Homo-oligomer: A and B are copies of this chain.
Amino acid sequence: MTPMKEDYLKIIFELGGTKKKVSNKQIALSLDIAAGSVTEMVGKLVQEGLAKHTPYAGISLTKKGIRYAETLVRKHRIWEDFLVDKLHYGLPDVHSEAEVLEHVTSERLVDSLEAFLGNPTHCPHGGAIPDKEGHYQEDSHTSLADSQDGDEVAIERFIDNHDLLMYLHDIDLQIGQDVTVMKHDPFEGPVTIEVKATGQKIPVSYKAAHNVFVK
């Protein structure tokens, strides 16, 4: 197993390849790799029993592929937790470091790290960390944009994107905050929320609101 194969596996997983079929183009765009190369690489994953591929229809993961992708997500998120908790990295900076560390992390290392960190259940962006056996609670899929005016919700999870995280940091929106949804402006305008603890009112841009998940 090579780092690149692992990246393919993880991106298919993240694009929803556990349930539906993911298109060649989605993968090519996400990894910034030519479509032809994707077809070829997917062929290898299929040979190794990690993915299923119906030509022209799409790609999905086998049980074995899902299992493998979960171990990668586990490593990635454990490292992110370590970087924030122990090395005091900022949220926007952890992703790129974890991205390379995850590929050189043995089972023993990730297990040791997990114990050292006190068995965290969620990464700093709010994503669930699969345990050693691959068990984890499903992440929320209700975005702030989906919520209704008047809803009282908790900020649960951010999409792990550098620019988004910089923006959220600027406007002081954090995981775990309990907020009240005040109003949705029309024409793709901001969603305004009020942080319960401080009474602070925050307008969250339309696009960002689609990348913040609540429960």
Contact = CB atoms under 8 A, between A and B. Distances in A.
Contact of A97 (B86, B87, B109, B116): B109
Assembly stoichiometry (copies): 2
A102 to B, nearest CB: 9
A113 interface: yes
A19 interface: no
B100 A112 contact: no
A112 B88 CA distance: 8
A103 interface: yes
Contacts of A103: 104
A167 interface: no
Contact of A87 (B89, B100, B116): B116
Contacts of A100: 104
Interface in A63-111: 83, 86-89, 97, 100-101, 103-104, 106, 108-109
A101 B101 CA distance: 7
A8 to B, nearest CB: 19
A87 B104 contact: no
Contacts of A88: 112
A106 B83 CA distance: 13
Interface string A111-152: 011001000000000000000000000000000000000000
17 contacts: A83-B109, A83-B112, A86-B116, A87-B109, A87-B112, A87-B113, A87-B116, A88-B112, A89-B112, A97-B106, A97-B108, A97-B109, A100-B104, A101-B101, A101-B104, A103-B104, A104-B104
Given A86-B116, A87-B112, 15 more contacts: A83-B109, A83-B112, A87-B109, A87-B113, A87-B116, A88-B112, A89-B112, A97-B106, A97-B108, A97-B109, A100-B104, A101-B101, A101-B104, A103-B104, A104-B104
Interface of A: 83, 86-89, 97, 100-101, 103-104, 106, 108-109, 112-113, 116
